[in-house]
Amino acid sequence: MNQPVRIVIVGMGQRSMIYARESLADPTLFKVVGVADTDPQRVRLAKETFGLSDACCFSSVEALCAAPRFADAAINGTMDRQHVRTTIPLLRAGYDVLLEKPFAINQREADMLLACAKETGRRVMVCHVLRYAPFYRAVKEIIASGEIGRVMHADMLAQISYFHESVSFVRGKYASPEICGSGLILSKCSHDLDLLSWLMQHDTPTGVSSVGSVFHYKPDMAPDGAGTRCLTDCLCERTCPYSAARLYIEHPQRWANILWFGQTPPSDEEKRRLLADGQNPYGRCVFKCGLQIVDHQSVLISYTSGATATFSVNGGASAPARSLHITGTKGELYGVFEDERFTVSLVAPAAPGGKVTRTVDVSAAQHGNAHGGGDQLVIRDFIALITEQPVSPCVTTLDGSVTGHRLAFLAEDSRLSGGQMQPY
């Protein structure tokens, strides 16, 4: 590859910026040459960050696709419900696309995108960045090696921290299907169901059942004296763990950046004024937001071989965590992604306790990275894919992402029908 790949950004949000900044870290890999976004501030951010000309900045994907093609590919970081309707014009205009997950919000849209990719011959890769994490790569290798035998059951759990839950899924833009187009299991957990599908790639699902509800973030769980807004009418703001002032000003976790993305961070005094504004969604009481998606959900999956899998997600945990426990006919493995290690335990009748165990430690490769380095590796694999270079075993083509998405669609169908098993 003599010249860096030319890429245009569609939807200059936080996720797109993470991928796009890799062009600044390694200019030989790719170059951001254009942007399309309906928000003028975000267009300006991209223009200033990547030195774009006015001619390469657009206010919509339609305007971008109406212009002569000037890039090799696009990174699509729009909101979930916009993914298909913005990607199809890009494919028809001749762009390959790196598409943020989930790639579609229902089966009808998924089928439309698959058909368009096949018709145009363009490549679509989905940003399932956790496949690239050393933790999950090592788990995949052990399952594929047969060391723990045939997989009988896989159990996975995702814990969403209370600060992430509050800013994204209660107060934020993923709080209702009307805003983001889907429920919690797709918007947050398409990563996890993709991982499960990838790890169980040797088997085929036959049915999905799921239950879930809003358990915590509802009015009857509010503390005494709670108002409707943290900084205007709440009598218990100083003691509430969900205080907007505590989470987004005094002790800001990394998710607080969502509030001020694309702008110069305001002063603390200005932040308080903004959070007190009646139009600001992030200043609302988490118990009185009228949450339209569930805050916890469990999924049960059956497979052709007779194997089973379970996945659960809980919102409001003390800390983020993804854990797994996979049982095979010769042994098992279990661990927590954030611990950067897992244990392999094998059946061994002659050994003390009837088993032998070892620890697989990936900390030297993972370095405490939230996605295990996947944010950086996925863009490199995308460049390799579209330039017909060798790709990693983690590459997630559109076809390779279908199973995890279908599991999510069926899980939500099942939940809405009271947990009835949905045939795959």
Distances (CA, A) of 152 to 66, 203, 308, 396, 407: 52, 11, 7, 25, 19
- For residue 347, the model assigns a pLDDT of 98
Contact 72, 6 (CB under 8 A): yes
Question: Which residue type sits at 19?
Answer: Y
- For residue 180, the model assigns a pLDDT of 83
Write phi, then psi, for 130 (nearest 5 degrees).
Answer: -70, -20
Contact 209, 414 (CB under 8 A): yes
d(CA 18, CA 13): 9
Each domain of the chain, given as residue ranges in start order, spans 5-126, 130-217+291-369+398-423, 219-288
Contact 205, 424 (CB under 8 A): yes
**Residue 60: CB partners within 8 Å, gap ≥ 6?**
36, 38
All residue ranges of the chain with pLDDT < 70 are 1, 262
Listed in sequence order, the DSSP H helices in 60-106 are 61-66, 83-92
Chain-centroid distance of CA 248 in Å reads 22
d(CA 108, CA 81): 12
- For residue 1, the model assigns a pLDDT of 53
Q: Which two tokens stand for residue 179?
A: 């805003």
Burial of 104 (0-12, 13-18, 19+ CB in 10 A): buried
What's the CA angle centered on 34, arms 31 and 35, to 5 degrees?
A: 125
d(CA 331, CA 347): 5
Q: How many residues does the chain have?
A: 424
Q: Is 287 strand, coil or helix?
A: helix
Q: Reply yes or no: is the peptide bond before residue 102 cis, omega within 30 of 0.
A: yes
Q: Which residues pair with 367 in a beta bridge?
A: none
Contact 12, 64 (CB under 8 A): no
Which is the CATH superfamily of the domain at 5-126?
NAD(P)-binding Rossmann-like Domain (3.40.50.720)
d(CA 132, CA 142): 15
Q: Which two tokens stand for residue 301?
A: 């999956």
Contact 201, 305 (CB under 8 A): no
Distances (CA, A) of 268 to 239, 249, 265, 328, 393: 20, 6, 9, 53, 46
Structurally, what CATH architecture does the domain formed by 130-217+291-369+398-423 represent? Answer: 2-Layer Sandwich (3.30)
- For residue 116, the model assigns a pLDDT of 98
